[in-house]
């Protein structure tokens, strides 16, 4: 069975600094998708970034980028120039095509001014 | 384009009652998935509907059911509510088309069972 592990329950970063959130996953599939979702106090789950496993190039969305290591089954999220609005729970998620999302337990990110 | 909408946003029910939650997907999306989020169990998949058919199902008791209409709107029903059903219920929609599988979430419905 596929699993997603986020080993950092909480992280903190100073405004304008860079922080990296870790995620590892386990699967025997070769074709799958990985995601980072952000859940602020409003509880709305917001897509941050998406990676297709067959693409070797790491995805980037403005200040957010990933380090996708397929062989190591690692998918970390780097947030550059952190802002107060980045404070939220961050969930790493995995799925195969036409299948459910499997989530990690989340990392709570605090951003200090 | 409007996002995923869920109604109601908040609900308070008592044990034994039943509840129906509604989800309207992003226009053009044909798949709707439901997830339950609790502090103890995290995010768990309930079921997914695609073109009015249940395509995937999670490991929840039969008290949890759903359906999808021809306009892709979906409803989720929980019968004989238990205290443990208190949770945030999230709905997500996706196309899916080709390799586009991304699920976009609504704001959720917070259910409190007393």
Question: Of B29, B20, B22, which is closest to residue B1 (Cα–Cα)?
Answer: B29
Chain B interface, best mutation among A97, A101, A108, by max B CB count within 10 A: A101
What are the tens digits of pLDDT across the range A13-33? 999 999 999 999 999 998 999
The reported pLDDT for the residue numbered B17 is 98
- pLDDT-derived band at B1 (thresholds 50, 70, 90) equals confident
pLDDT at A77 over 90: yes
Chain B interface, best mutation among A99, A100, A106, by max B CB count within 10 A: A100
pLDDT at B96 over 80: no
| CB < 8 Å to B33, chain A | 100-101
The reported pLDDT for the residue numbered B69 is 97
Report how far residue B100's alpha carbon sits from residue B85's, in angstroms, rounded to the nearest whole number.
32
CA dihedral B25, B46, A61, A57 (to 10 degrees): -120
| Interface contact B105-A45, CB threshold 8 A | yes
Exposure string over B65-99, b if 16+ CB within 10 A, otherwise e: bbbbeeebbbbbebeebeeebbbbbbbbbbbbeee
The reported pLDDT for the residue numbered A12 is 97
Per-residue pLDDT, averaged over A65-92, amounts to 97
- pLDDT-derived band at B101 (thresholds 50, 70, 90) equals confident
- Work out whether strand B104-105 and strand B87-94 pair parallel, antiparallel, or are unpaired: antiparallel
Question: Of B64, B3, B69, B2, which is closest to residue B30 (Cα–Cα)?
Answer: B69
- pLDDT-derived band at B2 (thresholds 50, 70, 90) equals confident
| CB < 8 Å to B26, chain A | none
């Amino acid at each position: 069975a596929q699993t997603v592990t986020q080993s950092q329950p909480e992280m903190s970063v100073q405004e304008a600094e860079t922080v990296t959130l870790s995620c590892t996953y386990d699967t025997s599939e070769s074709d799958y998708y990985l995601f980072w979702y952000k859940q602020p106090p409003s509880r709305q789950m917001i897509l941050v970034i998406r990676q297709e496993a067959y693409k070797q190039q790491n995805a980037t969305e403005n200040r957010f980028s990933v380090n996708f290591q397929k062989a190591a089954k690692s998918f970390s999220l780097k947030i550059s120039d952190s802002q107060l609005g980045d404070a939220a729970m961050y969930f790493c998620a995995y799925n195969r095509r036409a299948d459910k999302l499997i989530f990690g337990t989340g990392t709570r990110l605090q951003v200090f001014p | 384009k409007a996002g995923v909408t869920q109604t109601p946003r908040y609900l308070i029910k008592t044990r034994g009652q039943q509840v129906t939650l509604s989800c309207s997907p992003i226009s053009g999306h044909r798949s709707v998935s439901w997830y339950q989020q609790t502090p103890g169990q995290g995010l768990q998949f309930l079921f997914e509907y695609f073109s009015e058919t249940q395509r995937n199902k999670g490991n929840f008791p039969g008290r949890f059911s759903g359906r999808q209409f021809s306009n892709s709107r979906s409803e989720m029903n929980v019968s004989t509510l238990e205290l443990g059903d208190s949770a945030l219920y999230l709905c997500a929609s996706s196309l899916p088309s080709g390799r586009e599988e991304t699920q976009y979430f609504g704001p959720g419905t917070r259910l409190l069972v007393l």
